[in-house]
Each structure stands twice: as structure tokens, then as C-alpha cells.
């Protein structure tokens, strides 16, 4: 998967978790979605760093 796509998906997870919290107030689902989103964003930044170091 491309790095930009991973960043976008991570951001969408965080936005979706915020929306779910506002609509339903479900805390455990929101926490899981935020962790997945942050994991994807951090993972894509690490991927960018590794690619830049290899160059």
C-alpha cells in the first residue's frame, strides 16, 4: 500500500472514532479506532523515514 493511502486511512479512523463518540458515546470502540488510526499514521511516517534513509 502507498504511504499516502495509509495516512488517509489513519486519519479517517480517527475522524470516524470522534464521530462515533459524539453520536453514540461508545468509549471502547472509539479507543480501539483511535489506536488503529494512530498506528497507521505512525507506521506510514516510519515507512517514509526508512525510505529517506535508504536513498
Looking at residue 1, its pLDDT comes to: 59
How many domains would you assign to the chain?
1
Where would I find the H helices in the chain?
3-24, 27-54
Which residue would you say has higher pLDDT here, 3 or 14? Answer: 14
pLDDT tens per residue, range 12-40: 888 888 887 777 777 777 788 888 888 88
> What's residue 46's pLDDT?
87
Does the pTM of the predicted model rise above 0.75?
no
The CB density around residue 10, as the number of other CB atoms within 10 Å, is 21
- Give the whole-angstrom CA distance, residue 17 versus residue 3: 21
Residue 14's domain spans which residues? 3-54
d(CA 40, CA 32) in angstroms, rounded, equals 12
Q: pLDDT value at position 41?
A: 85
Amino acid at each position: 500500500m502507498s504511504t499516502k493511502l495509509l495516512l488517509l486511512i489513519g486519519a479517517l479512523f480517527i475522524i470516524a472514532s470522534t464521530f462515533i463518540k459524539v453520536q453514540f458515546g461508545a468509549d471502547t470502540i472509539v479507543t480501539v479506532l483511535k489506536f488503529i488510526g494512530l498506528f497507521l499514521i505512525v507506521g506510514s511516517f516510519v515507512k517514509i523515514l526508512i525510505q529517506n534513509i535508504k536513498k
